[in-house]
Structure 1
Amino acid sequence: MPMRLFSLRTPLGALLSIFLSLPAFSFTPSIGTIQPRGGQRGTEMTIRLSGDRLYEPQEILLYQPGITVTKLEKVGDQHKAVKATISIAPDAPLGEHMMRLRCKGGISYQRSFWVGEYPTVMEKRSEDGSRDLNSNFNEPQEIQINQTVQGVADREDADYYLLQCRKGQRLSVEVEGMRLGRLLFDPYVAILNKDRFELASSDDTALLFRDCAASIIVPEDGPYTILVRESSYQGTGACQYRLHVGEFPRPTAIYPPGAKPGQALDFTFVGDPTGDLVSKIDIPGKSPNYRAFVKSGEWLTPSGLPVRISPLPYHNEVEPNEGSKEATPTEAPAIPVAFHGILSKKEDKDWFRFTGKKGQRLRAQVFARQLRSPLDPYIIIRKEGDSKQIGNNDDAGNGDPDSRLDFEIPEDGVYNINIRDQLYNSGPDYTYRIEVTERSPALSATLPYAARNNSQKWKMICVPRGNRVGRVVNLSRSNIGCDLILESTSLPSGISLERDTAPRSINTMPVVFEASPEAEIAGGLYNLRVKDPKSGLSGPLKESIHHIEVNNAGTFHSYHDERLSIAVIEEAPFELTLEVPPVPLVKNGVMSLKVTAKRHPEFKEAITVTLPWRPPGVSAPSSVTIPKDKNEVIMGINANGSATVAKWRIFVTGEATCSKGPVLVSSKLQPIEIADPYVGGKIELAATELGQNTDLVCAISVHKEFEGEARINVNGLPHGVTTETLTITKESKEIIFPLLVSKEAKKGKTSNIFCSVVITENGHPISGTAMGGGVLRIDPPPPAPKKPVAAKKEPPKPTETKPAKKRLSRLEQLRLQSKNAN
């Protein structure tokens, strides 16, 4: 199915005026760190964003509410730091806040800033900053309770903090280390008494990923020491942490782990040293990443506990429910439904029941690790009263340890789902939620990764004024087959979106963002959605950013959102034009694309050109290069025999490094047609001897008529065999290639001989393989006739000479006489 076209024209005069007045080339600002790493609610503070190419900073893009930037200014003349004055609202959400810096030349990578309830103090270090001053238990840094410490876990370093506590007081500690998103850092924390005895310690926690937390009830008045280090003493100067020390509650789980939107519900917070805490919370109407906080006294937990918000009706487990007859609830509910429970007892198993109708196609989905429970779930589906399993599942796949099972109801009745831990582990924080729903259609989209272990590269859509930036969008369809189109309710002023309708047969689509020459330099966070034009069903374009990603080890801290950063930036120093020949690319054919760069007079650098999106069955080189001081390059592409016959549009992207950073631009979308071959046929078997010429006969079948003559060649001939280029017309039925076979030709059978044909249409070549599978056999010459062999004359036999009679001795004579006498 062809794609429908959406086009945009840019005035040539405006474009020329841009190129004649191009400012200094500065692109792709980079931020490495934000210091300090966090701040206190209800305060105003200054933060420093350090990196490179931070020319003309414009604004900080904030992903969460609660922080306002009141001032933004550059630091020095090296363009490596920006200072921002921010105001943190008293009700700002606690925890991670994501931000990007937008400059005139682009948008930086996403970085994090953390909001807490406590004032921040810095770890004491030497004047030159090379070492800390709290690495000895007997010489700790003194702090107050209800403070946050920002420190560094160096190599073979242990940081000690001393504070005074009262008997019966709750003392909690929590470390933000890995979650700061800077590098792979596995922190360890312990609470020590005055005798250096560990009262509590923590390395990894399910709730906080690789970060740690511990909490105790103080046994007696006196000094207590907090120890922080890298778990294996392999820290570096980049292993920063935020240590919260206070009277805050620190539960490890929440129950129930799910709720309906807009519901006011009593939640039980499990795992605090004072016992379970109950708090009523008003659930928001919509929040995909909602976290619940509990307050004890005047303090909240530093980080919240995830709660799944869904409109599904749900049932909490009622003990005992360890078998089919005891399954929760007593009356089986209809689909859709959700269940909540805790695997709290040793080798615990929980059973639930629901009603199903024959033919229902259902999905059972467990939310455990996704809600930061330590549970590794394993589920089984059965018809109630029947031991035979309908299905079971451990992991959903793709690194998701939660269970997901798709199944079909074989007959009307009541069915059971039972859940346990894969290794039969259990505990008071082994909470879970199970959703059983009908498999409904769903749509979504993502942007592919441009580099391994770098999920942010080119994820920011920065469009130079009067230019374009193209992207490939990955499409996901679940339980539906449909065409898709990409839509946006809003974009920065002056940016338009050029795209086609993607047919149901493909899972990727090309899109091009174009900025008008007069577009204002501005940007922000924007939602894009994919939509089925017929049914109206739509889904979000999701962005997943992995802040810590280790080769072959996976991701360790990620952020997920449904907004993309899009901006109009300063003019780029070059523009790309893609020229696609106005003829089809035939199956098993090749085509040459011409890419032209229109450069600013001062820009001379090489440009790396890629073809990011290719129609199904079309291949291209990974990249070609427009050399320095050159303006053109040819990119050869080819279509295999399974290429999809249709009309598509493609674009090329050019990346170049300017004196002040890399920049990326794209061409317009240009039409290309994939077609069936014009000519086909069959190559007859040919056989000859060394030194004996022969003919290669080919039957011609013309599938689509063409004007004039077409050149046809034989390819794949063995060494020592040559032929000539011939021509055919649309009336040709057969063609005979004379093969010149030398005496040095390669002997034996040569397969896979094929014919290529070049047809000229509208002055442009259509090149492809017309036929293949030809065989040529070259035999050695027969041996020369053998001369008759003369019979060999046998020499005369010598006369047989009788041996002389042997004379017997006297003894032998006597013996012979005795023998004859007897």
Structure 2
Amino acid sequence: MRHATQTLVALLLSLGVALRATAYEPRLSRLEPAGGRQGTTVSVDFVGGRIGIDPAEVVFYEPGLKTVALERVDDNRTRVQLEIEPDCPLGRHELRLRTNSGLSEIRTFHIGVLPEVTEVDPNDSLDAPQAIEFGSTVNGVIKREDIDCFAFNANEGQRVSVEVEGLRMGRTFFDPLLELLDEGGQVIAECDDAAAAHQDAFLSVTAPHTGRYIVRLRETAYRGDDNCVYRLHVGEFPRPDAVFPPAAARGVEVEVAWIGGNGGKQQVRMPSEGDQYEYWPEDERGTAPSALPIKLLDAPPAAESEPNNNRNEPNPMPAPGGGVGVLAETGDQDWYSFEAKKGQVWELRVQARELRSPLDAVLRVFTPDGKNLAGNDDDRGAPDPYIRFTAPEEGTYLLQVSDRMDRGQPDYVYYVEAAERKAIAEVKIEERRRYEATVLEVPRGGKTATLLTVTRRDLGGELRVDFENLPPGVTAEAFPLAANYNRVPVVFSATEEAPLAAALAPLEVSPTEGEQPIETQLEQQTWFARGRNNRPMWSHFAKRAAVAVTDPLPFRIRIEPTNSPLVQGGAKDLKIIADRNEGFDEAIRIYTLYNPPGVSSNRSRSITKGQNEAIIPATANGNATTGDWQITVVGELNSGGRVYASTPFAKLTVAEPYFDMKVPTVNSKQGEEVELTLELNQRHEFDGEAELTLVRLPPGVAAEPTKVTKDATSATFKLVIAADAKPGRHRGLGCQAKLTVTDEPVVYTQGYSEVRVDPRPAANATADANNGSNGSQS
């Protein structure tokens, strides 16, 4: 009995291990709660599919948060004790959860300074609001047709500021509407969308009397669901609509003026490094719940000074350099002048929406006498304008900044600049599934692959891509990127001894020859909220790739080496072999990570259950780019979540045809035999014979294959036209060549010609009909 029990336990344990080994793709749907206060320790539940199976660590993108404890609650929930350091940076902190089998998507945890409370239902009536302390952050959720009301006390003359984070929580397209009411139910202030809060809402007013006030919060159209979570901040903190200047030099002390929200100012020393400073307005009464960006520059910008609203009174602006200004009233325009030499190329842009200004800027370039040389409203779908301007002559040029609708307000701040061009490589990690950012999970002893797209700006030549800070035991293999191509496949490998771990890996693009400085811009988009037509409403752009070492997979895949080329106009079979662990026989979907230009391959193939190999057919069109290409095949297993492996790189040669075949037009009649002679133009030598077969012959027309050698200059076919062959002009006639190269078949097709089949003369047709009739009677 004891032996049987031990056997059963061992069996259950082995089954448990097997089940956990196939629980791939941990999903992180939400954090409960979604934020906390500086200097506290918070119990946070990480919730999502398979997130509780073998949880290992939280991966933080920025300092300030620490994991104190981590425990599995169930398969779909992990509980983490998060320590928020006293000096933890305020605002959004991106994080992931790593399990032994995978890495979750990004979610954001939000840090504030006010005491935290939780919304308690029912609180949907002005008659029964939830009471909170003035100076609190409420964590809540808006359901369908839901209204949340909160009451607090304030004194006459006291600053009352309210801000809600809804869309910025990154859960769904949540459009909150905020109202502040007095005890009698009269609306004192309201806000729907605020540019400075990324279309979330905030308001800041002076309390008109001492007493009770109510904040009423809802979704604008009374929609809502469990994903409409929010953080509502209520207190005496400053909350300006904008700050000025919106750009400043690094390392200098600047007086920052608050525009709106009762005004104010603060002396601030800018950081000595970085491109943008997240500025948190604060005074003795509190700190704003969210920051406003200030662009950091090499030198102080020119400050707009009125009058400068026409081309006769422009403000001088350094070039390279820029200027800061405000379109403070309707119809306002700001003009700047800068000097340029003939042929000099300048990148001219206005940053307004990027700095959370409501300004919809338009930028134009003029000569001093008023000739319009260039203009732009939106750049590549973004609302801020950009112009690449080449000076036609040496001299002075004018920039005009205006609003597209000629609007103006005190918070319409902007930064306008003239920058010298520089070499930039914009890198994108391609998505495996649409609207899902790719994570790189490298199995111990195995491989995985990803595809990078590199967009060049003022950059040519062959490039190399290098990943840095990979987890121990992980390497990345990538071949040089040709000057005329923009896609880079990368294969990641992990040793069998690599520790289970994760890292955030930056990458660098550099020239393979020379020392040209290149600015690498990696921005991997996580689509948090999408609007109509899948328009991105709220996203996160990671500047480092998430790479993790995971448990070994129960299979590896490889491409059987090939020694013959894929010829333009031809086809080739790629054999994929799976090396399976004992006991693993599940189907594995296989497809090429990418195809060279002009090459296509079947993406619906699988190594079926219990089998060890499969074929991926590949074809090349007549203009496929020739050369040696390093390809890799992805193996996708869907077993309790998707997981991806890849083959090592394998060389695929795309080559010119060994000879060209010129297929002529054929004229024929029903019941006849005609000869068709192809002109052959030899390009490359080959051994033995090549078999030629006519393809796409019309119904009723037949021809036997023929064979040629490398010395042939033509090939002749005998076409047999049946008496009942379909008459007419039949397009598409081609010729397929099949030859053997290094003991492997090479097949390609050329030609798109025409076979014309004319009806036989009526007399012949009648005679045949009579013969047929007599024969049937005999």
TM tier, smaller: over 0.9
Given that 1:445 and 1:529 are in contact with CA atoms closer than 8 Å, whether structure 2 keeps it comes out as no
User: What is the identity, as a one-letter code, of the residue corresponding to 2:599?
Assistant: V
For 1:243-262, list aligned pairs within 5 A. 243-262=232-251
Which residue, 364, 371, 375 being the options, matches 1:388? 371
TM-superposed deviation, 1:289: 4.8
How far does the alpha carbon of each residue in 1:304-324 deviate from its partner, in whole angstroms, 9 at most, with x for none? Answer: 001111225420101111112
For 1:331-342, list aligned pairs within 5 A. 333=318, 335-342=319-326
Which residue, 72, 82, 86 being the options, matches 2:82? 86
What residue is the counterpart of 1:172 in the other structure? Answer: 161
1:179 counterpart SS class: helix
TM-superposed deviation, 1:435: 1.2
For 1:341-360, list aligned pairs within 5 A. 341-360=325-344
Which residue, 307, 310, 314 being the options, matches 1:327? 314
2:154 maps to 1:157:
no
How far does the alpha carbon of each residue in 1:718-752 deviate from its partner, in whole angstroms, 9 at most, with x for none? Answer: 11001112211112222211111111111122233
TM-superposed deviation, 1:489: 3.0
CA distance in 2, matches of 1:786, 1:81: 83
CA distance in 1, matches of 2:105, 2:217: 29
TM-superposed deviation, 1:137: 0.7
How far does the alpha carbon of each residue in 1:365-420 deviate from its partner, in whole angstroms, 9 at most, with x for none? Answer: 11000111000001110112x121110111112x2010001121111111110111
What residue is the counterpart of 2:485 in the other structure? Answer: 506
Identity of paired residues, percent?
34
Given that 1:25 and 1:573 are in contact with CA atoms closer than 8 Å, whether structure 2 keeps it comes out as no
What residue is the counterpart of 2:495 in the other structure? Answer: 516
User: What is the identity, as a one-letter code, of the residue corresponding to 2:371?
Assistant: K
2:541 maps to 1:557:
no
What residue is the counterpart of 1:642 in the other structure? Answer: 623
Given that 1:444 and 1:529 are in contact with CA atoms closer than 8 Å, whether structure 2 keeps it comes out as no
2:395 maps to 1:413:
yes
User: What is the identity, as a one-letter code, of the residue corresponding to 2:171?
Assistant: R
Q: 1:72 to 1:785 in 2, by over 3 A?
A: closer
CA distance in 2, matches of 1:233, 1:208: 20
What residue is the counterpart of 2:710 in the other structure? Answer: 730
What residue is the counterpart of 1:43 in the other structure? Answer: 40
User: What is the identity, as a one-letter code, of the residue corresponding to 2:25?
Assistant: T
2:145 maps to 1:113:
no
What residue is the counterpart of 1:101 in the other structure? Answer: 97
What residue is the counterpart of 1:424 in the other structure? Answer: 406
Q: 1:313 to 1:222 in 2, by over 3 A?
A: closer
Which residue, 605, 610, 619 being the options, matches 2:591? 610
What residue is the counterpart of 1:127 in the other structure? Answer: none
Which residue, 329, 338, 356 being the options, matches 1:372? 356
Which residue, 642, 663, 685 being the options, matches 2:643? 663
2:168 counterpart SS class: helix
What residue is the counterpart of 2:386 in the other structure? Answer: 404
Which residue, 20, 28, 32 being the options, matches 1:31? 28
Given that 1:47 and 1:85 are in contact with CA atoms closer than 8 Å, whether structure 2 keeps it comes out as yes
CA distance in 2, matches of 1:785, 1:706: 47
CA distance in 2, matches of 1:226, 1:679: 80
Which residue, 297, 312, 320 being the options, matches 1:310? 297
For 1:617-632, list aligned pairs within 5 A. 617-632=598-613
CA distance in 1, matches of 2:480, 2:675: 51
CA distance in 2, matches of 1:562, 1:230: 32
For normalisation by structure 1, the TM-score amounts to 0.89
2:178 maps to 1:189:
yes
CA distance in 1, matches of 2:765, 2:459: 78
CA distance in 2, matches of 1:592, 1:189: 62
Given that 2:21 and 2:101 are in contact with CA atoms closer than 8 Å, whether structure 1 keeps it comes out as no
What residue is the counterpart of 1:495 in the other structure? Answer: 474
Which residue, 270, 281, 284 being the options, matches 2:271? 284
2:528 maps to 1:547:
yes
Given that 1:580 and 1:672 are in contact with CA atoms closer than 8 Å, whether structure 2 keeps it comes out as no
TM-superposed deviation, 1:786: 14
CA distance in 2, matches of 1:496, 1:540: 21
CA distance in 2, matches of 1:190, 1:719: 76
User: What is the identity, as a one-letter code, of the residue corresponding to 2:294?
Assistant: V
Given that 1:36 and 1:48 are in contact with CA atoms closer than 8 Å, whether structure 2 keeps it comes out as yes
User: What is the identity, as a one-letter code, of the residue corresponding to 1:73?
Assistant: E
Given that 2:661 and 2:735 are in contact with CA atoms closer than 8 Å, whether structure 1 keeps it comes out as no
Task: Give 1 or 2 for the bigger CA radius of gyration.
Answer: 1
Bigger RCO (CA 8 Å, 6+ sep)? 1
Q: Show structure 2 runs of 5+ residues with no match.
A: 1-16, 767-778
How far does the alpha carbon of each residue in 1:85-111 deviate from its partner, in whole angstroms, 9 at most, with x for none? Answer: 111122211111111001111110100
CA distance in 2, matches of 1:339, 1:373: 15
Q: How many aligned positions are there?
A: 746
TM-superposed deviation, 1:33: 0.8
User: What is the identity, as a one-letter code, of the residue corresponding to 1:369?
Assistant: R
Given that 1:609 and 1:626 are in contact with CA atoms closer than 8 Å, whether structure 2 keeps it comes out as yes
TM-superposed deviation, 1:279: 1.1
CA distance in 2, matches of 1:691, 1:289: 81
User: What is the identity, as a one-letter code, of the residue corresponding to 2:219?
Assistant: E
Given that 2:469 and 2:503 are in contact with CA atoms closer than 8 Å, whether structure 1 keeps it comes out as no
Q: Please, what is the CA RMSD of the aligned residues?
A: 1.7
Which residue, 229, 232, 238 being the options, matches 1:240? 229
How far does the alpha carbon of each residue in 1:614-667 deviate from its partner, in whole angstroms, 9 at most, with x for none? Answer: 111111123312222222211111111211111110000011112x32211000
Given that 1:442 and 1:479 are in contact with CA atoms closer than 8 Å, whether structure 2 keeps it comes out as yes
Given that 2:567 and 2:620 are in contact with CA atoms closer than 8 Å, whether structure 1 keeps it comes out as yes
How far does the alpha carbon of each residue in 1:322-376 deviate from its partner, in whole angstroms, 9 at most, with x for none? Answer: 11222113xx63x211111000022100011111111111111110001110000
CA distance in 1, matches of 2:199, 2:581: 50
1:207 counterpart SS class: helix
TM-superposed deviation, 1:696: 1.3
Given that 1:591 and 1:637 are in contact with CA atoms closer than 8 Å, whether structure 2 keeps it comes out as yes
TM-superposed deviation, 1:438: 2.3
CA distance in 2, matches of 1:634, 1:704: 28
2:188 maps to 1:209:
no
What residue is the counterpart of 1:468 in the other structure? Answer: 447
1:552 counterpart SS class: helix
Given that 1:66 and 1:92 are in contact with CA atoms closer than 8 Å, whether structure 2 keeps it comes out as yes
Which residue, 424, 427, 430 being the options, matches 1:448? 430
TM-superposed deviation, 1:60: 0.6
User: What is the identity, as a one-letter code, of the residue corresponding to 1:393?
Assistant: N
CA distance in 2, matches of 1:684, 1:560: 56
What residue is the counterpart of 1:58 in the other structure? Answer: 56
TM-superposed deviation, 1:283: 1.6
2:549 maps to 1:568:
yes
Which stretch of structure 1 is more off in the superposition, 222-231 or 532-541? 532-541
How far does the alpha carbon of each residue in 1:645-699 deviate from its partner, in whole angstroms, 9 at most, with x for none? Answer: 11110000011112x3221100001011111100113223332211111111112
CA distance in 2, matches of 1:725, 1:580: 30
User: What is the identity, as a one-letter code, of the residue corresponding to 1:203?
Assistant: D
What residue is the counterpart of 2:575 in the other structure? Answer: 594
CA distance in 2, matches of 1:443, 1:750: 50
User: What is the identity, as a one-letter code, of the residue corresponding to 2:698?
Assistant: P
User: What is the identity, as a one-letter code, of the residue corresponding to 2:88?
Assistant: A
TM-superposed deviation, 1:551: 5.4
Given that 2:586 and 2:608 are in contact with CA atoms closer than 8 Å, whether structure 1 keeps it comes out as yes
Given that 2:203 and 2:261 are in contact with CA atoms closer than 8 Å, whether structure 1 keeps it comes out as no
